[in-house]
Chains A and B, each alone.
Chain A
Amino acid sequence: MKKERKKKITQLALWTWTWVATLALATFGPEFIWAADSPLTLISIVVNFINGALMIWANRNLYNHYDELERKIHLEAMAFTLGVAVIVGLTYSLLDQKNIIETDAEIGFLVGIIGITYGVAMGINTKRYS
């Protein structure tokens, strides 16, 4: 069980890191490595998208390997994170639309909120059941 778990975590880590790397390449490549109108821009975005799909597949594989308590912990954290993402995302968008905040709403902010919320929810839930 432990060996199989380690294998699935390694797979997820691999696809996550390559996804981050291809995202960085697709973001900064047209600016610093090749011309913005080059076909490489579209290719790098497609590669990043496919990489993202493989990361989701690896995450699903790991989730299916979890036992019943681990699934419950993750599911509760995901449900809470989904709620926070919808509420905070829409509020943030409204603040931008009504010009209450000075800067434009950035998707990176929402991704950050999702990451932090999921991490905190996982920490609290893990402690609750330990």
Chain B
Amino acid sequence: MNNRVKELRKGKGLTQEDLAEIIGVSRQTVNAIEKQKFDPSLNTAFKMAKLFELPIESIFLSED
């Protein structure tokens, strides 16, 4: 699944480590999500949506 996590994180001036700490996952997980090697759980997606103040579908983009 495509996503805008890297762009949004940088827009907020956060490092991967910062974002990981805020949403309660490891830095490796943030890295894997940004590289689109791993799709996060709904819970993590909601935490990102809250942090970036955007709806989930604006962050995670369907490939269809």
Contact = CB atoms under 8 A, between A and B. Distances in A.
Interface residues on A, range: under 10
A9 to B, nearest CB: 13
Contacts of B25: 67-69
A129 B28 CA distance: 8
A130 B32 contact: yes
Interface stretch (B4-12, B36-44, B53-61): B36-44
A72 B21 contact: no
A130 B31 contact: yes
Contacts of B29: 67-70
Nearest to A126: B28
A33 interface: no
Contacts of A129: 28, 32, 37-38
Interface in A80-96: none
A69 B21 contact: no
B13 interface: no
A128 interface: yes
A117 B53 CA distance: 44
Given A69-B29, A128-B37, A129-B28, 7 more contacts: A67-B25, A68-B25, A68-B41, A70-B29, A129-B37, A129-B38, A130-B32
**Lowest 8 A-B CB distances belong to which pairs?**
A67-B25, A69-B29, A129-B32, A68-B41, A67-B29, A129-B37, A69-B38, A67-B26
22 contacts: A1-B21, A67-B24, A67-B25, A67-B26, A67-B29, A68-B25, A68-B29, A68-B40, A68-B41, A68-B44, A69-B25, A69-B26, A69-B28, A69-B38, A70-B26, A70-B28, A72-B38, A128-B37, A129-B28, A129-B37, A129-B38, A130-B31
